[in-house]
Structure 1
């Protein structure tokens, strides 16, 4: 009697979510989508999710604590493992990491550095791409060096508010009103305000400075908001282009994550030449910051003169049910289950190349 064919062992995916940032709640929603994708179809045989929840104060929970957090329940039930752990204690139980973390302490190179030191594969870009992609000042500098079109902006610092008249004068001279004030290292529109006069500008700068030492002020432009997803390593591929429509003055946090306040149009209704240029610029912007794996690149499109401006690159975009990144790839022919599989395969292939030692 022939021996039974051995079944392949499922790859253990360390799904990391939560985190010490203002996008903690969004990260949990994204993780639910990824967890579902890991258990759907062929992925249910390929992968086994090992949940790792990072509390708002930086503690790592696994087991029951992480499962509870993913479902929205109390993340620290009785009998949970050490609630004081500040680092993953289960690395030996993980084959590849999938950090579904947004914003500081997750999308900024810190967690990427941890996994690099652990010498374990992880989904997404490395330390450089994540760090540059997180910091809007560094990102815009990289865009400028690559010759990418972007709106006029002024870089500032919290220390500059010690001389508010000088800083405000520079903004008024270089940009004028209206303008947007942003912390350099936050995402999901957290801490962003629109200023139409000097009083609002000062209030916005002070509010942003409470969140970050590095600030940026951008000229407001009347434009449509387009987005394009990027996937790959070495060779980067761009998705179809999508557009965001919203009922607010601008695309703030509430509008982004509250049902009924915004809608997505995929593919965007733009001329084919504009569609193709967005795809080219999305790849170039991702390359400009040294990123790979996945990214979502945001654009401003002025229809009257067909001008395109690169707004920013997100190196770990949202994976929620209404997030543009997975929806763009679905419209491009890659369902979310396959997308998650490809991201994991990219991570493992890069890790193998990084550790390859040629024979002498």
Structure 2
């Protein structure tokens, strides 16, 4: 009779666990469409993993294509010292093996595991029991979820099973969010130069002008055209022309300040937005760009070549309160630079140029 009661109670507990886990899996599946970004996804994964397994802490490691290593991208319930440990190679340590082999791992005492590479960190953190499961797509393994307990209490088989089920949903959430972020990036950025595309930079300009009007501060723009770019293309070919544009955009970004925005307006035309900057400040920025470009060595067919730019500068509110007016003033000023012999900067409504 007691065995029957025990069996019934065990069944009830299992049912309760199963229902709870299904609710959590359903929650993360549904929530994929409202995540703010990958960081939000990662935070949800580690917190849910802890609740799911009755662990005290969790981390998620993801393979970085640039470094070829696994880095901790989010943690919960762990010290900064533990979370700041360096990335590991595939096959290195417990988590490295989990990702390389695509198989889960569990131990009640991580300090006794021979291939654990961070035993001292684990001891300092007070970690004993560890369970790690891979994040597997159809093609490969992209990382792993690892949960931790500070007692030598092994994770149960059903907890391993449930974390594996959850990992499948978590992987889908990561992949979908990555895809959405990539699509957003493609919609905003010029694929050749990596700066904002025309539509995106115009949206940013409209927003910056509106903010400047509302709060009563200056915002300026620098409208740039590369001098004789068609001639460069004809002489050196379109492949090196693309390389030129990519290097030019990189150089412009390097010369700009942290808060400045750079966009490709079209062809060889670029636009720089300088918030909280008056016309004098924008002229200095434009001259800095002109000087840097004139000194830079771009790759040509038979060696390095030099290039120049022509630029026009306009400001809010001095040259207008609307995007159309400010853009036209900067564009007109840029063409005045062209008429003045190129390789110069002209302020809107002014014939003064900096050579």
TM range (shorter): under 0.3
So what's the TM-score if we normalise by structure 2? 0.24
So what's the TM-score if we normalise by structure 1? 0.24
RCO higher in structure (CA 8 A, sep ≥6): 1
Rg larger for: 2
Q: Comparing both structures, which one devotes a greater share of its residues to helix?
A: 2
